[in-house]
Amino acid sequence: AYKVLESNEIEPTSWNELQTLTKEELRKWVDAMDAEMESMKAKDVWELSDLPEKVTPVDTKWVFKLKRDENGKVTQHKARLVARGFTQKPGEDFTEIFAPVANNATLRVLLSVAGAKRMMVRHLDVKTAFLNGELKETVYINQPKGYVLNGNEDKVYRLKKGLYGLKQAAKTWNDKLDGILKSNGYHRNEVDPCLYMKRETDGICYILVYVDDIILCTNLPKL
């Protein structure tokens, strides 16, 4: 059976297409962009800066996504600011980019162990995860469309944190999470670096990381 979606709800594929929407629809996407910019501010992702000579800033774009329920009804307008990572220059805007990805076999074994030991299993989704990773490189981006500051049109943003679309974004987030887990007593598995374990006298806790999704399995009475 096919789901009937709301015909008047579309996902703009470009900034120009966004401008063709009705005032009512445009307002919803503007609210979504405002929320994204507030996330940037709350996470202290960047600071306003002059652009150094002979440096090319990384461009950004808005990506728009509608979230729907099982009946096709729109539940949320989501706007995400992403960097055009393909314009980054190796050795200047980024160095290391590798971030481990959990093995499917690890997940199957973990869930099997959790079932056998009657562990509590939880799925956690880290919102705006990449905005938590701290950049080692100096990266400048253009001010986002629609949010260029009056009187500072010639300025750019120097990134402090990772931004979706950057080549090193996944690694900076993974490094940040790795440090947090280890500081809380978790040990990284040597075979699958996305699996962490913490053992205490009254139980054990496993954490499996897949980018910004986390599977937690534990029989500890308290974490």
Indicate the pTM of the whole model.
0.79
pLDDT per position as a tens digit, 3-22: 444 546 789 999 999 999 99
CA distance linking residue 189 with residue 171, whole number of Å: 17
Task: List, for the chain, all residue ranges whose pLDDT scores fall below the cut of 50.
Answer: 1-5, 7
Residue 36 confidence (pLDDT): 96
The residue behind tokens 């987030």 is 173
What is the residue-wise DSSP string for the chain?
------TT----SSHHHHTTS-HHHHHHHHHHHHHHHHHHHHTT-EEEEPPPTT-PPBPEEEEEEEEE-TTS-EEEEEEEEEE-GGG--BTTTBS--------HHHHHHHHHHHHHTT-EEEEEE-TTGGGGSBPSS--EEPPPTT-PPTT-TT-EEEESB--TT-TTHHHHHHHHHHHHHHHTT-EE-SS-TTEEEEEETTEEEEEEEETTEEEEEE--S--
Residue 223 confidence (pLDDT): 60
HSE, CB side, 13 Å, CA atoms: give it for residue 193.
11
**CB distance 32 to 64 below 8 Å:** yes
Residue 169 confidence (pLDDT): 92
Residue 3 confidence (pLDDT): 40
For 23-48, give one letter per residue: b (16+ CB within 10 A) or e.
eebeebbeebbeebbeebeeeebbee
Q: Nearest CA to 165 among 78, 63, 64, 92? A: 63
pLDDT per position as a tens digit, 191-211: 999 999 999 999 999 999 998
CA distance linking residue 167 with residue 190, whole number of Å: 25
Residue 174 confidence (pLDDT): 95
Measuring CA to CA, how many Å separate 188 from each of 11, 32, 197? 40, 37, 7
